[in-house]
Amino acid sequence: MKRIRSLHPLLRPTSAAFGSATAPPPTVLFLRPASTSAATPAAVPGVLPSLPPSRNPLASAKLPALHARLNLHPNYPLQTLARTLVDTTADSDARFTNAHLTTLGNTLTSYLVSEYLMVTYPRLPTEVLYAAVGAYVGNPALASLGREWGVEHAFEPTADVDAGLLQFLRIRPGAPPSPPPLWVRRKKSGPTNEKEKEESAEERDERQRRHGTTLEAAMANHVRAVFAGVFLHEGYAAARQFFRQHVLSRRLDVDRLFDFVQPTRELSRLCAREGFEPPVARILSETGRRSRHPVFVVAVYSGAETMGEGHGGSLDEARIRAAVNALKGWYLYSPLVKDLPSKTEGSKYVAFKPAYIDPGEVIV
């Protein structure tokens, strides 16, 4: 087995990401076979054993193909792409997995999508905002994106697995959920000392590695690690463009994420807070009142302004739908000019128009 020598055990960006005229060779990461294989012989100072041909990232045909499909920059080395395919459950040593890249990628993707949603829909309630973030960068969405990229997975993380396959330890069929952290398990046993209150990172990683994970979670972590690699090797501007092309280009019906419990009462509170006239529901039209399938059209007015319309099989249903549509029209307000604050990351001389800030959602 062999470790490819690196300038630093952690991934770091090349100077090309900062606009250097002469870019040095890309940073090479530690890579080694999965820990489920045979034990590595004792290291001899100055001598590195050789990798199996299947484990060499430069000998894999799948890695260059994935690199080309994603249209990654030449500064993005195949060694980094190979590391993004090694899940934390496939190796006990975080230096050889995508653990650090996944953490950075999760922070990066969450920030970019939160920024986009908060600028595009400044009046979104908190719960709807969290649901929209999860719809864009949650495990199901990112796992679907990884499958669209054509990422294949290995059945077991062994030493002879091709470096271009996603490697993770599968959760056993019918196995119970992963046990909670150590401090939760010890909560009922009375007070403990400070050393026992929190589980160390090594204990948590080892517990997760023994338990295994699902294909969806492993694929999502791989996608997050790829975004982190783009940020580190190509810079923030390239990462933001890559994220816009692969994530924000998808359509999300944010209006379907709302679930109002008391829409009429919430609409009354909203009008009172904003100084509008109290909402009044008025019937606009109806048909078949005495038939088996009547239809009523009701509108909600605040003074002379129409706030929303709705239809239903009864007057109450139409009135509630009109209130819901009025609330959605308020919460889904989107300014005509949308300026993201992250555009100032490239240059401090870029002009930025401050985003609209709403007082917040109505508490019923």
Q: What is the pLDDT of residues 223-238, one digit of tens each?
A: 999 999 999 999 999 9
Q: What is the pLDDT of residue 9?
A: 35
In contact, 248 and 116? CB cutoff 8 Å: yes
Helix (H, G, I), strand (E, B) or coil at 52: coil
Q: What is the DSSP string of 199-255?
A: --HHHHHHHHHHH-B-HHHHHHHHHHHHHHHHHHHH-HHHHHHHHIIIIITS---GG
Record the pTM: 0.77
Q: What is the pLDDT of residues 29-61, one digit of tens each?
A: 555 554 444 334 444 454 444 555 667 888 889
Q: Give the HSE-up count for residue 44: Cα atoms under 13 Å, Cβ half-sphere.
A: 5
Separation of alpha carbons 289 and 292, rounded Å: 8
Separation of alpha carbons 97 and 31, rounded Å: 8
Q: What is the pLDDT of residue 244?
A: 94
Q: What is the pLDDT of residue 184?
A: 44
Q: What mean pLDDT comes out for the span 1-25?
A: 39
Whether the pLDDT of residue 265 is over 60: the answer is yes
Whether the pLDDT of residue 14 is over 50: the answer is no
Q: What is the pLDDT of residues 351-363, one digit of tens each?
A: 888 888 888 888 8
Type of residue at 84: T
Domains in the chain with CATH codes: 15-170+213-255 (1.10.1520.10), 259-331 (3.30.160.20)
Q: What is the pLDDT of residues 131-153, one digit of tens each?
A: 999 999 999 999 999 999 999 99
Helix axes 215-234, 99-120, angle to 10 degrees: 80
Structure tokens at 157: 């993380």
Q: What is the pLDDT of residue 201?
A: 57
Q: What is the pLDDT of residue 140?
A: 95
Q: What is the pLDDT of residue 62?
A: 93
133-142, 323-332, 334-343: least confidently modelled range: 334-343
